[in-house]
Structure 1
Amino acid sequence: MQDSARRPAAVLFDRDGTLVYDVPYNSDPDRVEPVAGAREALDRLRAEGVPIGVVTNQSGVAKGLIAPEALRAVNDRVEALLGPFDVWEICPHDDGDGCDCRKPAPGLVLRAARRLGVPPDECVVIGDIGRDVEAARAAGARGVLVPTPETLLEEIAAAPEVASDLAEAIDLVLPGIQLTAEDEAGTTRAVG
């Protein structure tokens, strides 16, 4: 597992509830709305040269509630609002399908790390529910939970690291790098 004082090789995010507000089985790009601070958090990682990706369960595809082209349109809208990601890994299966990619299984994290050419144990996964943290743990990655009102109390209690929001999560994964109010240019700097 990654040393929390070291810079991560990559940071992987859950999509719904973490980067954008969770709209169950969303197939409408116009309903995509970033959570507060998402763009700034991602831009901090980009500025530091840390690869970023999305690892997301999308069981609506298996259930016939989201057409593959609608899923692509929603993901395109996420990128239009939040900037480009280095990798997307999507599980289109449902719980009963027995795949190795649906979180909490490690498949999405392992595939994202492989595509980025980085060791899974040097990755960080940031998500809003226990499945995200469990997928990180199963892949040997570091997991950071950013709870929402839908996050279960037992998921918060079981998480190895909890952040109140995405800015705090990035503070945890980029040791010594903090965005300050004085940085009007939107850059990061080391804090001694």
Structure 2
Amino acid sequence: NAYLHSTAAADGKPQRYRAVRADYHGHVAELLAKATRSNQLDAAVSKEDQEKLLASLQWWGALDKDYRYSRSRDSSDRRGYDKDAGGGLSGDPVPSTPMGLGDVLGTTLWGRLPFGDLYEMQTTLMQPVGGMDRIGMAFAHELDGLIRYRARVLDIHQDEQGVRVAFEDGAEPGSRHQARADWCVCTIPLSIL
């Protein structure tokens, strides 16, 4: 559920990768379905293969029965919902509205869609055996003695001299300590920070 961003696209607002990808696929599928249904591919594709092509486009692009890419549960299963399914009386999901074709093409964010398909990048997209936390555990092993555990961050301050972090040591409740460094790699979620 990563974001794509360009200051020149979508009024500078980040867009979900999955939404841009689904909308691009949906609109391309709709256009190709229109060309197929209006006999523009007759010279290149047999009638039998056109039927197969239409079925595959309908599935690949989340097209409706009329081969249109529109707001629906199928398109929202790909691009994400305005409101995800939940429980209770208001548990039904709320489908999201796809970007129009002009918006998808105008954002130029489509240029970032094949990143994971590039030969050099495929091997970087992996999951370690045992889960992603194995990466942190490997760093911890190599940095033995340098990592301070059970330290609750109270404040992070950045200035021209570097970064200062105030923290409370879990072994000393109520204590206040400081650490200084040139850089801070902060993995605290923004909603908590």
Give the TM-score normalised by the residue count of structure 2. 0.27
Structure possessing the higher relative contact order (Cα contacts under 8 Å, 6 or more residues apart): 1
Give the TM-score normalised by the residue count of structure 1. 0.27
